[in-house]
Structure 1
Amino acid sequence: MKARSLHEPPRPSGSRDPGPFRMLDYDLELQHHNLALRRACAIRASDQVLDIGCGTGQTTREAAQLATAGSVLGIDRSNEMIERAKQLSDEAGLHNVEYVCADAERYEPPRERFDVAISRFGTMFFADPVAAFSNLRSALRADGRLVMMVWQQRDRNEWATSIERALMPDGAGTTGSIAVPPAFSFGDPDAARRILDATGFATATFDEVHAPVFYGRDVEAAFDFVSGFSTVNEKLARLDANERARAVERLRDLLAEHRRADGVWFDSRAWIVSTRRK
């Protein structure tokens, strides 16, 4: 599901080092977003829930704790994350959770089984979104809900624009046409509604979540975290040694500028997209 841009969670395609500490760092990064999504999902005790791109299962476990008379199926393309999700669910004593290592774009979940499908930044990276959402729709019961969090447009997300500027080669301009990275593919509500409408979903609502992302308790922790983004590594690899050193210095300075008493934070804006199966 996540085929990665500048910053995406350590899910399927390995945008970051998938070690257990980085996977848990991702949950800390999105702590404010997670609260907003949990409220929007409004999981009921009897719900059957599908969690798309579940990663290490934070959203899956939280859904399971609410769906006490139901169950939750979490799917993710990373086997390491699925294994970690299983471990954490076992440690939490949850018995109404299952996990499947699969690509949600191709995986065929049980048809018309689920009352609600949820996702925290796990649906923007489909190579064929029409096929993917058609597949997910078939898993929902009549009038079943889809509630997902996606990033707004790139220029509304400080974490994306500021880090990218810090990594630009010396003298590079910022003008010109820039292709929309996959992370922001659902940032335009009109375009997203067209995809959902074409795949059998009702007109979606887009509720803004304006909240900061957390990158670490201090500059060094934040630098270690950001250095795990695959695109940060890719951009640095294109620079010669001198340019790379200057880019790293600019990145450290940027992180220092964003340090507060409680850590390093960057502004972000996301949508909570809510719709139903027609």
Structure 2
Amino acid sequence: MSEHRARFAAIFDEEVRRHNERFRAVAAVRPGEDVLDVGCGTGESTREAAAAGATALGVDLSAPAIAKARELGGAVFEVADVQTHPFPADTFDVVLSRFGAMFFPDPPAAFANLARALRPGGRLVLLVWQDRDRNEWYSVLRDALAPDAEPPPPGPHFSLGDPGRTRALLEGAGFTGVEFTEVREPVCYGPDAATATEFALGLLDVKQLLRDGDEHAVTRLRDAFATRETPEGVLLGARTWLVTARLSRA
């Protein structure tokens, strides 16, 4: 996935542009703040924080994604596992994560480490997918690739879709005032069906749904995308949560 993420960096950013606009507005990064961007991928959200006047550090587990982020420049980027990385304590005013925090293998450890890195009163802003069944884009993939099969268990990218579970995780790490704001905006898989198909074939959900021996699956996927072509690209319905909280540690 990491090489695919780097190769299709521009499409990944355009895919979630409408959601990112809301994310950026809610984060409201201010000049002079110290910002940690978790799971930054190729660094768009980190660069946006830096452009707002912050000192921004983007971290990700993916070396290819970080290499691409450094190539694009605009901020400081490091390969790091936020579950264990020794961030200096009381260092950051803001922790951001745009579709990155869902992938923590050990969420309590990760959020506890991020809380330690935040200054007292610092804020956390997450953008995460809602539950899988609430996202049309997944239904389009499933109906095209495996219409008659039982779908596999939801992947880790839906792990923070349940507000009750996510609230408990954050409060357990010392965060307070946890709030969820729904965003309903389409995602864009590319300018046309051919590009959307090439992009989608590298996604985790598509790899899970593809069945050996189904030689027509890719054609069905391309046809499904063709019916959703618009002047703005191939658009699929999507729902996310904007999650905000503050560190309560005195």
Tell me whether 1:105 sits opposite 2:91 in the alignment: no
Superposition pairs of residues 85-100 of structure 1, within 5 angstroms: 85-89=69-73, 94=74, 97-100=75-78
- Residue 262 of structure 1 and its aligned partner are, at CA, apart by 2.2
Aligned to 1:179: 153
Aligned to 1:62: 48
Structure 2 residue runs without a partner (length 5+): none
Q: Equivalents in 1 of 2:35, 2:150: separation in Å?
A: 46
Greater Cα offset, 147-156 or 255-264: 255-264
Q: Equivalents in 2 of 1:173, 1:59: separation in Å?
A: 36
Would you say the 8 A contact 1:15–1:230 is kept in 2?
no
Aligned to 1:239: 212
Would you say the 8 A contact 1:217–1:264 is kept in 2?
yes
Residue aligned with 1:187, SS: coil
Tell me whether 1:43 sits opposite 2:13 in the alignment: no
Aligned to 1:24: 10
Superposition pairs of residues 200-239 of structure 1, within 5 angstroms: 200-236=174-210, 238-239=211-212
Give the AA of the match of 2:233: G
Listed one character per residue, the Cα deviations across residues 199-257 of structure 1 (whole Å, up to 9, x for unaligned) are 11103100111111001111111111111214423432x421xxx22222221221112
| Matched length | 248
Residue aligned with 1:204, SS: strand
TM-score, normalised to structure 2, is 0.93
Listed one character per residue, the Cα deviations across residues 135-184 of structure 1 (whole Å, up to 9, x for unaligned) are 01000000100001000111111111220222116x4357xxx6332111
Q: Percent identity?
A: 42
Give the AA of the match of 1:146: L
- Residue 99 of structure 1 and its aligned partner are, at CA, apart by 1.3
Tell me whether 1:121 sits opposite 2:109 in the alignment: no
Residue aligned with 1:33, SS: helix
RMSD: 1.7
Moved over 4 A (4+): none
TM-score, normalised to structure 1, is 0.84
Q: Equivalents in 2 of 1:153, 1:133: separation in Å?
A: 20
Would you say the 8 A contact 1:16–1:229 is kept in 2?
no
Aligned to 1:192: 166
Q: Equivalents in 1 of 2:78, 2:197: separation in Å?
A: 32
Distance 1:81 1:114, change over 3 A: same
Would you say the 8 A contact 2:2–2:62 is kept in 1?
no
Aligned to 2:67: 83
Residue aligned with 2:142, SS: helix
Q: Equivalents in 2 of 1:166, 1:106: separation in Å?
A: 40
Q: Equivalents in 1 of 2:119, 2:150: separation in Å?
A: 50
- Residue 125 of structure 1 and its aligned partner are, at CA, apart by 1.3
Distance 1:99 1:16, change over 3 A: closer
Would you say the 8 A contact 2:50–2:56 is kept in 1?
yes
